[in-house]
Amino acid sequence: MATDDSDGTSRWTDEDPGPLLRNFAITRGRTRPTRDYPPFPLTAVIHTVTPDPPADPVGWGPEHRSILSLCRQPTALADLASELDLPVSVLRVLLADLLERDLISLQDPATQERPSRDILLEVLHGLEAL
| Dihedral sign from CA coordinates of 14, 20, 22, 23 | negative
pTM over 0.95: no
Give the mean pLDDT of 84-104. Answer: 85
Q: For residue 128, name the pLDDT band (cuts at 50, 70, 90).
A: very high
Establish if 17 belongs to a structural domain: no
Region at 29 (left for phi over 0; alpha for psi -120 to 50; beta for the rest): left
Establish if 105 belongs to a structural domain: yes
Tell me, what DSSP letter sits at residue 101?
Answer: T
Establish if 114 belongs to a structural domain: yes
Domain that residue 110 falls in: 30-129
| pLDDT above 80: residue 68 | yes
Establish if 73 belongs to a structural domain: yes
What's residue 25's pLDDT?
55
What percentage of the chain has pLDDT greater than the value 90?
13
